[in-house]
Copies of this chain bind each other. A is one copy, B any other.
Amino acid sequence: MGSNSKTALSALGRRTGEPPISWLMQAALARDNLISLAAGFTDTETLPVAETRAALNELLRSSRSGRAALQYGSTIGDPQLRQLTAQRFARLDGLRPGPRSPWSPERLLITHGSQQLLYLLTEALCDPGDIALVEDPTYFVFLGILQSRGVQARGVRLENDGLDLAHLRAVLEALRRRKQLPRVKLLYLVSYFQNPTGVTTAFAKKRAALALLREFERDAGHPIYLVEDAAYRELRFAGGDEPSALAVRGFARRVVYAGTYSKPFATGVRVGFGVLPEPLFSAVVRIKGNHDFGTSNLLQHLMARALASGRYDRHLALLRRRYAHKARVMQQALEKHFPRQVRWRAPHGGLYFWARLPRGLKCGLDSALFKAALEREVLYVPGALCYADDPTRRKPDNEMRLSFGHAPERELREGIRRLGEVLRDQLAG
Q: Which residues of A are interface residues toward B (Cβ below 8 A)?
A: 1-2, 4, 6-14, 16-19, 22, 25, 41-42, 44-45, 47-50, 52-53, 56-57, 60-61, 63, 66-67, 69-75, 112-113, 115-116, 119, 123-127, 130, 141, 144-145, 148, 185, 217-218, 220-225, 250-251, 253-254, 266-270, 279-280, 283, 286-287, 289-299, 301
Contacts and interface: CB of A to CB of B under 8 A. Distances in A.
Q: What's the number of copies of this chain in the assembled complex? A: 2
8 contacts: A4-B223, A8-B125, A12-B287, A16-B283, A22-B289, A115-B290, A115-B292, A296-B296
A395 to B, nearest CB: 21
B8 A293 contact: no
A302 B286 CA distance: 29
A3 B251 CA distance: 13
A303 B50 CA distance: 20
A14 to B, nearest CB: 8
A130 B10 CA distance: 9
Contact of A53 (B13, B56, B218): B56
Contacts of A125: 8-10, 13
Nearest to A75: B22
A251 B53 contact: no
Nearest to A145: B290
Nearest to A223: B8
A48 B66 CA distance: 9
Contacts of A1: 250-251, 253-254
A14 B268 CA distance: 33
Contacts of A73: 268
Contacts of A41: 71-72
B291 A7 contact: no
A104 B268 CA distance: 25
Nearest to A64: B49
Contacts of A52: 60, 66, 70, 298
Given A115-B292, A296-B269, A298-B266, A287 B8 contact: no
Contacts of A145: 290
Contacts of A6: 221-222
A296 B261 CA distance: 12
Contact of A71 (B16, B17, B130, B267): B267
Given A47-B71, A221-B4, A267-B72, A292 B18 contact: no
